[in-house]
């Protein structure tokens, strides 16, 4: 049986990009494979963040994941910083990772442009990510398209470590993509991203979904209500595809092309569809919010299970690298 690992940063709310690009897939895969889902708070500190909000965001992320259908009878859900072996293995992998490979990562280049002084943590993000996955010898990583390049580097790191210390020890994990590889944000151009503020959270109340959708960018060539639109150039249409049936999506496209609907009409239909889709998720989240001790208990039990696997890997890694306690022969 293959083992799956994936992570999500508690750097903001769980949004529909995360949900369609990753979380929905995790929920499906947890019944078919051994599965570990990690709230990666060590990754979240590689950018500026609000220290006083991190714990709350981690807790909220756990609520969002559990409410989305992550079931801890089927998978291990935990917080990265509760398992310190992640950072130990990251240090080990830094000793085999070429600096040039890290410098050419697209995500590093994009994010470092926005920072006055570039921190080493941001550049080493993919090394910690390799440690996250390989600590559990996971061979599949369900992610969005933005992470595919990091997965390639992860395989390279596994190959380099294996070649130097123990042939075949770490698997070479493969990315597993969904049909929603890259959800575009409400600005209609950039990837929907917590840090860009172009998101719709999955736990958003119906009025708030509408407030966010109302000003969202549509087909830029459609200026007046009477102009026919091109659904293929409209991000709102691309979102309809994930929340409506085939017939409904065809109706949206036809009303756009004929100018039968204005963009506001089209957004109202989408707003309603998103709101209905996530209603049960919002309800489950409200129950979980009312019981914070239960959420902490779930994360505590998850960390204990993860540590038992991680501890074994680190013990073997130390041994293969000549770091084993009591192995001194001098
Ligand atoms: N827009 C997206 N479309 C498809 N998949 C996406 N993912 C994120 N955004 C999209 C996938 O969600 C998983 C968790 O992502 P993450 O939060 O750990 O990292 P991220 O990709 O950096 O997400 P954000 O929202 O863009 O966070 P910030 O702004 O904090 O960096 C991953 O599998 C990711 O592929």
Angle of helix 263-277 relative to helix 206-213, nearest 10 degrees, comes to 150
User: 268: Cβ–Cβ under 8 A, 6 or more apart, which residues?
Assistant: 210
191 noted as active-site residue: yes
pLDDT given for residue 326 in this prediction:
55
Task: State if residue 192 touches ligand 1 by the CB under 6 angstroms criterion.
Answer: yes
Q: Tell which phi-psi region holds residue 155, choosing left (phi > 0), alpha (psi between -120 and 50) or beta.
A: alpha
Nearest CA residue ID for atom 21, ligand 1? 146
Task: State if residue 144 touches ligand 1 by the CB under 6 angstroms criterion.
Answer: yes
The ligand 1 atom at the shortest distance from the C-alpha of residue 146 is 35
The ligand 1 atom at the shortest distance from the C-alpha of residue 18 is 12
**pLDDT at residue 153 is higher than 90:** yes
pLDDT digits (tens, 9 = 90+) for 251-278: 999 999 999 999 999 999 999 999 999 9
Q: Show the tokens assigned to 285.
A: 């989240």
The Cα–Cα gap between 258 and 231 comes to 11
pLDDT digits (tens, 9 = 90+) for 300-328: 999 999 999 999 999 999 999 999 765 55
pLDDT given for residue 328 in this prediction:
57
**pLDDT at residue 126 is higher than 60:** yes
- H runs (alpha helix) in the chain: 16-18, 24-29, 41-44, 51-68, 85-94, 99-103, 106-113, 120-123, 125-134, 148-165, 206-213, 235-243, 246-257, 263-277, 279-289, 292-320
* Cβ neighbours, 10 Å, residue 254: 12
Task: State if residue 194 touches ligand 1 by the CB under 6 angstroms criterion.
Answer: yes
Give distance in angstroms: CA of 17 to centre of ligand 1: 7
pLDDT digits (tens, 9 = 90+) for 191-239: 999 888 999 999 999 999 999 999 999 988 888 888 889 999 999 999 9
Q: Show the tokens assigned to 296.
A: 């902490």
DSSP string, 31-89: TTSEEEEEE-HHHHTTS---HHHHHHHHHHHHHHHHHHT--TTTEEEEEGGG-THHHHH
Give which of 248, 293, 302 is closest to 274, Cα–Cα.
248
Task: State if residue 133 touches ligand 1 by the CB under 6 angstroms criterion.
Answer: no
User: 259: Cβ–Cβ under 8 A, 6 or more apart, which residues?
Assistant: 225, 226, 227, 228, 229
Question: Can you give the pTM of this predicted structure?
Answer: 0.94
Cα torsion through 182, 183, 186, 190, rounded to 10: 0
């Amino acid at each position: 049986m293959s083992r799956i690992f994936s992570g999500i940063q508690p750097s903001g709310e769980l949004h529909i990009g995360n949900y369609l690009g990753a979380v929905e897939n995790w929920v499906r895969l947890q019944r078919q494979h051994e599965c570990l889902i990690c709230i990666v708070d060590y990754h979240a500190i590689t950018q500026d963040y609000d220290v006083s909000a991190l714990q709350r965001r981690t807790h909220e992320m756990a609520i969002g994941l559990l409410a989305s259908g992550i079931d801890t009878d089927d998978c291990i859900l935990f917080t990265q910083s509760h398992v310190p072996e992640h950072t130990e293995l990251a240090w080990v992998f830094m000793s085999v990772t070429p600096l040039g490979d890290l410098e050419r990562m697209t995500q590093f280049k994009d994010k470092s442009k926005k920072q006055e002084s570039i921190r080493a943590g941001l550049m080493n993000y993919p090394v910690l990510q390799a440690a996250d996955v390989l600590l559990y010898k996971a061979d599949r990583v369900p992610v969005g398209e933005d992470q595919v390049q990091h997965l390639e580097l992860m395989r390279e790191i596994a190959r380099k470590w294996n070649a130097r210390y123990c042939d075949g020890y770490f698997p070479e994990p493969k990315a597993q993509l969904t049909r929603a590889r890259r959800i575009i944000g409400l600005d209609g151009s950039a990837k929907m991203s917590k840090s860009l503020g172009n998101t719709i959270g999955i736990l958003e109340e119906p009025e708030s979904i509408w407030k966010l959708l109302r000003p969202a960018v549509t087909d830029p060539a459609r200026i007046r209500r009477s102009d026919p639109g091109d659904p293929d150039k409209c991000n709102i249409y691309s979102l309809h595809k994930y929340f409506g049936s085939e017939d409904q999506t065809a109706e949206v496209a036809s009303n756009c092309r004929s100018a039968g609907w204005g963009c506001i009409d089209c957004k109202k239909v989408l707003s309603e569809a998103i709101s209905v889709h996530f209603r049960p998720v919002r309800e489950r989240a409200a129950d979980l919010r009312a019981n914070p001790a239960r959420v902490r208990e779930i994360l505590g039990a998850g960390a204990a299970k993860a540590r038992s696997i991680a501890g074994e890997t680190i013990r073997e890694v130390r041994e293969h690298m000549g770091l084993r306690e009591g192995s001194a022969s001098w």
